[in-house]
Structure formats: structure tokens, C-alpha cells
Structure 1
């Protein structure tokens, strides 16, 4: 009996496991740290390495794209079928800083397999080089299992070099190269799963808008005995602003903040409730001692599907030992807003500016500055392309696949916004992988499962694609 498509994919991946790990290990040795200028040459080397490896995989087009910062890598492989969907895979090749003295058990840029061969320790193993690179193995398995000479979809890759530094030039790059990046759907492989035992597909990420507020009172610090109670205190105004930001139900009080948001459906709430969530364990991971959030929602619903306002920092006045009885000249706030589908960061910025201005008393001058926003993204559960991802994951893992969202934010929303296409997520990392932490690792079997899911995905998307 000949192999089934699934077994043929699995056999190819098992046969080429060591080759895959050897190549990935070579890439992980490149310390492509985007946050540290001294690694600029390493970022270049990382981009060149990936472009060459994608060419060796079979991509007829591989290019290193320049930005005002670190280079990105683009690759393209047409299917030869004009009716096939076009898929753009996104990831990043830059990594977080890492040094042995940070608490690593091994050298962070000398990839190390655990004694049982199950874990690969290195900076970037999970975030995101391992998850970018499993696509090369998955694509080769797809071709080998189907006998094709080109993928079943028109396949493009965009691997940026500044994600770990906030992607400061990414949107500009996407706008400049929008014609080359044109696609029907984007696949992001920079996320994770619930656990090894519970494979999941992420359906959305929150956006973010963050601001800094400076409050100025007297022209210099002044004596609180001589002037206290008679002139406004910027530190007191800062405290009142923060206190007014939420009501008694922990809802954000900025007018219009919740207008137009995509509410959770009963079905989505049921799916979230099905996940094996251990709140006590979650609190231990959060290094916290109790939950608190918007009334009427569970912990997971709050971090995945509800918008938030968080005070990130507050300062002003004397902070040294002992007393110094002054009215300070200046106070400072840092506030971030996590946003969900249906919220426009620019609308939120305007609403926050108006809300702050209304609460500033005479005698206080204020300045409010917002950083570059990130839009939220969300794919409906019934989207045909999402169902293709779900089926492909289920084929690879041999079990039911559930759904999660991501409480954080990322540049994938820029792709959705500029290219006007849905964004889907195919990630196999698990919480224990330790993104951004010492001893980051990837589970080898999960990387191989990711390759297997990718191998199935191109056929499934081609067979089930609907506009």
C-alpha cells in the first residue's frame, strides 16, 4: 500500500530532522540582536543567511530588503496556477539581547540540545527563528508528498529584522512594497499554543496605543508650607488623573472608549471556557497574588478580548530618603491602552487627549505625546482560511484543535491594515519556551509538528479557498 499524504509528509519530516536541526542551529549562532547597534553586522549576516537558505529550499525569488534600520528578507514562489490563492507568511529574524550572566545555563548563541534531544536551547529558538525556519521543512515535505514542483499556493515570505525593537520601520516597508506583498491571506508564525497537550490556533491580537503625559506647575520646586493649599500641585493632578481612569467596575472612563468594539459571542466564550485554565498557576506565572479586571469577564476574556488602560509609570517630586516638603514643578505619567477589534488607535488617542485636557486645572500646563500605535486584528471563527489552519494543525497533532487569542500586540496588524487581508496565526511555541527570558528553548517535536501543519496547509488552502 502506498503512503497516505499525511504519512508521506510525516516520513519526509522524520527523515530530514537532523538536517533541519543542523541548519537551524547554524542560524541561531548568529546574534541578530536588533536592540543593540553593535549587532548591526550580525543582522545583515542573519538576513543574508536566510535568503540563501530560502534559495536553496527552492524559492526562485529571494531578496534582502533594506530599511532605515535592519534588513528584511522577502521570498516568493508562484504556484503556476492563476486561480490559486496567494499566501504571505510573516516572521522575524531578529532576537532579544542575551548574555550568559543573565542566568543562562548555556551560551545563548551556542545552540544546545538537551540530553534527551527534546529541547533546543538558544536565543531565538522559539522567538522566532525556529518558527520561521520550520516553513522550509514543511514546504519541502509538501512538495515531496504531493509530487509537485511548486507549492499549491502562490507562496511569499516576509521576515523582518526589527520586531524585537518595536518594528519602527515595518509599516513604511509594507507600504512601500505593498504591490510585491499583495496576498489573499497572511499567515503569522510568531505565536504559540496553549500547551503541548492542547494544540491551539490564535485568532487575534490586541492593538496598543501608549502615551506619556507631562504636567507642569510652578517654575521650580517650591516650599509646601509657604505655598501649599494655594497653588495647584502637578503630582496631585497626576494622581487624580490615574484615579479617574477606571470606574468601580474597572471599566475605562474615557468617553467613547468602548464604542464599536467586537464583542465576544456566546460561542467564543464557551470555547474559551473549555480551555484547561488553572488560575492559581496563571497567577504564579504572573508573579501576582490576585486577579482584578473588568466586571463580568473571566481572566482569559479580559487579557484576550477586552480593551484595557494600564498605568506603566508615575513620577514627580522628591523621591529620596527622608522628607522634603515641596510642591514639585513637574509630574510624569506613562499609560498604555490595549485595544481590541473595532477600536481605532487614532480615535482612542483623540478621546484620551480630550479626557485629559478636561481634567487639568488652571495653573497646570500639560503635554501628552503618543507613540506609534499598533492596530488590533481578529479573524472570525468561521473564516474559511482559519478553518484550513485548524484542519492542518489537527492533521499534524492528531487531536482536536482549540482557539485562543493573544493579549499582546504585534506588527501583523500593519499587514492586515495595509494589504486589506485577513491575518491568521500558525505557531507551535508553548509557554515554557521562555520568550525574552534566560534559557529560551524550543520543543523539537513541536517545531516538527509545525512543519507538518505547514505542509498540509498549502494543499488545504488551495482546495478550500473562497473569496
Structure 2
């Protein structure tokens, strides 16, 4: 490729190496994006396998030994570079499966036809998470090409699964079966975003995630509204009433006991959030959210990372498409996404939701309520200490800008599962941005962020390779509780 314009700033030997190889990196990412590795679509299972084999080839090209594990109908790719069995070992987690795309909603390109435009590479998976995975592969390349033997004294293992977008149903079994092979000193979780391209900040927490499906039943079949209007259960109306009761007028979740276990914001965490640059109007423009809403009394950052939430992500009843038939639908279904905050436990929240629905549902209505506890993921908070300090130094070097504050990840992932199974702490390092349109139309990755992310990863390997004693001592580290304070009002205003 010819010169590619981008806004990233990368310096030093690592930056020079990545800039020199940017065309190759983008060509490879573009090739990978053409593979529609949609794990949720049974018709795409062969493509998920193709994606895994393609990635295994990239890992081998970077010097890793690779193994492909079958996980249900999908595949996970494992690679390792062992320079010294006695050296510190880092384990990288991410995924290569992608979300379904609606081509009719894409305007920049077809979902699996990558294009580069205005400093971005467009295509499904370009950011979530194929771009992040290749940032690790090329970060490892840059580390090996620019480091002396001494600073390269670090073992790297990578597990890139193919089922994350469907809840990682086979990940726990794989981690247990391969626990000895996956042994490490620390996990770097790479499926997160950054705050802003010009304001790097480490992600230090991840909310938990739980999904549920509520279906309300009415007549035995769709019924002409003129025959029974006003005298039978309308499942669409009943479902809407139950859903509306999930929140009160102040934006709080109204499920009894829902906030009982949520950990209060600490003084330290409040200061970390406040240090992140924030402008309400800029946030609305970047995320295309039109306005800021949510729980009154908490800042936007707190709502995103330290408070739980309940969202309706799909709602189906009657004739949502095609010709109207003027009928009372026989059933109505809603899918829910619940994000849990530190302190909450999935099992407790699931019971609270079941109790609420049972109480809120009218006596005459029949319903089913399924809570997917098997694929739920608990929240996680990274410990402080030398590894976190090393991560901040790596971000500063990789982005060429001092870090500003610390953030959280509003979404979820199997961080808690990884730390419990492997017995080591988790740290987060992603290359995405809120404007990358994950799971939506016109997904893309900022080429500057891709470069800076790869550079940050290479610098992190240097940092960790120089601190074997600290890494091993850090395995059991935990963040000590500190003084609790009330919320800061700096970004709580609503924007029209």
C-alpha cells in the first residue's frame, strides 16, 4: 500500500517499525475482515473455522507455535512464544468471531468488503476484535524486532476464541482442560475501548453481563382486534407495562434490592474518573446518542462503569414488518441486557429479576422468563500495583501522551472467569474507540489508534519483561478499600 494518512503519533524504534510495516498490517487486517466469522449464524460455521486457521497462520508468521482447539461449532486459536521457561509469562485473551451485520444499514461499504477512508479501515470486525488481535500480533513483532535479548525476556501466550459474541459457552471447559498449558503470571484482556484518541487511559474495571428473555402470551393465535378488543390480554401492551416498571422516574432500576450489593464509589476512583477529559456535547457527537440520560445523581462516567443498568435490546410483537393485519398478537417478546457493577453477583441479580417479573405481571397473563445464567459474566476490577504502573507507562510511550485518569469498560467479558481459572490478575488493553460502531453499521477502526495500540503493547512487553519478581509477587495482589465519597456532579447534565 502507498502512504496511509492517520492521526496517530508513534515514536522511537517501535514506532518506526510499525510505521514502516503499516501497509502490510492493513492489508492483512483487510484480508481477515473479508471472512464473515459470525459464530451466531450456523451457516457461517465454516467461515469461523477459516478465520481461526487464517489467524493461526499470522501467529506462526510472528514466531509463535499454534494450536487450534475445537469449541462446539467454533474454534479457538492458541499461540505461544516461549523464550525461557523461567521468564515471566503473559497470557493475552481476545476473540475472532464477529456480530451479524445488516448490509442495508451500511453506507461506507459492504460489511465484509473492507475499505480505507479518512484514516479509518471499515468492515465488520475491523475494531471488534480483529483489529485488536492484530495489534497484539504486530506488537509482538515490533517487540521482537526492536528489543535486545535482555529486554525481550518474556514469554507470550495468546488465546483468541471464536465464541465471545455468543457468550463464550465453551471457554470455561477449555480453560480447565488446558490449565497447565495456559499457566501464566498475568492476563492481558484485549476486547475494550479507549476513552479518546488523544487521551489514553487504562481500563481498570469491567461490568458484568447477564441476558434474559421475557415472553408474554395472549390469545392462542393472532386475533382480529375487532373481535376481542378490550376483553382479552394484549401481550404487547402487557409486556410494555412490565418493561416500563423496570425504571423509576429518576432513571433508577426499580427492581427491589437491585442496588443492595453495589460497591460505593471510592475517593480514589472518583478522582480517576474526574481526570478524564469530558465534554457532554462532544460525547453525544462521538457516540451519536442524541442526548445523555440515565440515573439521576451520578455522572456519565459513573453510570457507564460503576453503576448497573438494564436495557431492552429487542422488542417483537404483532407485524413489525410487512403488511399490517389489525390483530391482537398471540405473543410479545423482549430481550434484556443487564450490566452488573462491582459488588453484585449474577445469581442474586437473576433471582431479583425473576421476583420482580412475577410480581409485576398481571394475574391473567401467562409468560415465560428465561435468565441466561450459564453464559453470564461477573464484573471485575484490576488490582493496582507495579503491573498497573507498567501499563500506564506503556500507554504513555505508545501514544506519546501522558495518560489522563483511569476508566472502566461499560460492556462485559469473561475476565472474572479467566482470573478464577488461571489464578492470576487481569489487566485490560484495547485499541477501540466509542465511535468505532461496534455491533452496529459502518464499524471501523482508527488507523492511528491501531498503531498506537500495537506500540503500547510492544512497550508493555518490554516493561513486564524487566520485572519478573514483581510479576510473580503480584499474582495475589488486591486493591485495598479506601474512603467512600459521594458522586461528583461534573458531567451529570443532560444534553439535548
Q: Normalising to structure 2: TM-score of the pair?
A: 0.79
CA contact (8 A) 1:80 1:150 kept: no
TM-superposed CA distance for 1:136, in Å, is: 2.3
* 2:292 paired with 1:291: yes
Aligned position for 1:10? 15
Counterpart secondary structure, 1:51: helix
TM-superposed CA distance for 1:401, in Å, is: 1.2
Tell me which structure has the larger Cα radius of gyration.
Answer: 1
Which piece of structure 1 moves more, 25-34 or 224-233? 224-233
Matches within 5 A, 1:58-207: 58-59=63-64, 61-82=65-86, 84-98=87-101, 102-106=105-109, 108-114=111-117, 118-148=119-149, 151-207=152-208
- Aligned partners of 1:28 and 1:359: how far apart in 2? 45
CA contact (8 A) 1:310 1:335 kept: yes
Structure 1, unmatched stretches of 5+, are: 1-5
* 2:460 paired with 1:453: no
In structure 2, relative to structure 1, the CA distance for the partners of 1:360 and 1:16 (3 Å cut) is closer
Aligned position for 1:54? 59
TM-superposed CA distance for 1:130, in Å, is: 2.0
Q: Which runs of 4+ in 1 moved over 6 A?
A: 217-236, 315-324
In structure 2, relative to structure 1, the CA distance for the partners of 1:390 and 1:322 (3 Å cut) is same
* 2:402 paired with 1:400: yes
Which piece of structure 1 moves more, 359-368 or 180-189? 359-368
Q: 385, 388, 398: which one pairs with 2:387?
A: 385
In structure 2, relative to structure 1, the CA distance for the partners of 1:385 and 1:366 (3 Å cut) is same
- Aligned partners of 2:444 and 2:325: how far apart in 1? 46
CA contact (8 A) 1:79 1:150 kept: no
- Aligned partners of 1:29 and 1:223: how far apart in 2? 47
CA contact (8 A) 1:74 1:156 kept: yes
Matches within 5 A, 1:413-432: 413-432=416-435
CA contact (8 A) 1:374 1:414 kept: no
In structure 2, relative to structure 1, the CA distance for the partners of 1:307 and 1:137 (3 Å cut) is same
- Aligned partners of 2:435 and 2:251: how far apart in 1? 30
- Aligned partners of 1:135 and 1:69: how far apart in 2? 25
TM-superposed CA distance for 1:107, in Å, is: 5.1
- Aligned partners of 1:52 and 1:312: how far apart in 2? 37
* 2:308 paired with 1:307: yes
Matches within 5 A, 1:362-373: 362-371=363-372, 372-373=374-375
In structure 2, relative to structure 1, the CA distance for the partners of 1:236 and 1:441 (3 Å cut) is closer
Aligned position for 2:277? 276
Aligned position for 1:411? 414
**Count of matched residue positions in the alignment of Structure 1 and Structure 2:** 456
TM-superposed CA distance for 1:66, in Å, is: 0.6
In structure 2, relative to structure 1, the CA distance for the partners of 1:158 and 1:241 (3 Å cut) is same
Which piece of structure 1 moves more, 399-408 or 158-167? 158-167
Query: 1:309-337 CA deviation, whole Å, 9 max, x = no partner?
Result: 2344556689996977x8x8755444332
Counterpart secondary structure, 2:199: coil
In structure 2, relative to structure 1, the CA distance for the partners of 1:286 and 1:227 (3 Å cut) is same
Counterpart secondary structure, 1:48: helix
TM-superposed CA distance for 1:342, in Å, is: 1.6
In structure 2, relative to structure 1, the CA distance for the partners of 1:197 and 1:340 (3 Å cut) is same
Aligned position for 2:479? none
- Aligned partners of 2:139 and 2:220: how far apart in 1? 64
- Aligned partners of 2:102 and 2:220: how far apart in 1? 44
TM-superposed CA distance for 1:54, in Å, is: 1.4
TM-superposed CA distance for 1:366, in Å, is: 3.7
Structure 2, unmatched stretches of 5+, are: 1-10, 475-496
Query: 1:166-224 CA deviation, whole Å, 9 max, x = no partner?
Result: 43433333343333323332212222212221112222222222222334577678999
- Aligned partners of 1:217 and 1:113: how far apart in 2? 50
- Aligned partners of 1:314 and 1:42: how far apart in 2? 29
CA contact (8 A) 1:78 1:150 kept: no
Aligned position for 1:3? none
TM-superposed CA distance for 1:102, in Å, is: 4.2
Cα RMSD, aligned residues only: 3.5
- Aligned partners of 2:278 and 2:330: how far apart in 1? 47
TM-superposed CA distance for 1:367, in Å, is: 2.6
- Aligned partners of 2:36 and 2:235: how far apart in 1? 45
In structure 2, relative to structure 1, the CA distance for the partners of 1:398 and 1:221 (3 Å cut) is closer
- Aligned partners of 2:317 and 2:437: how far apart in 1? 35
- Aligned partners of 1:274 and 1:42: how far apart in 2? 43
Q: Normalising to structure 1: TM-score of the pair?
A: 0.84
- Aligned partners of 2:201 and 2:122: how far apart in 1? 23
- Aligned partners of 1:182 and 1:390: how far apart in 2? 24
CA contact (8 A) 2:311 2:337 kept: yes
Counterpart secondary structure, 1:178: coil
- Aligned partners of 2:332 and 2:120: how far apart in 1? 48
- Aligned partners of 1:51 and 1:333: how far apart in 2? 39
- Aligned partners of 2:70 and 2:147: how far apart in 1? 35
TM-superposed CA distance for 1:235, in Å, is: 6.2
CA contact (8 A) 1:139 1:151 kept: no
Counterpart secondary structure, 1:386: helix
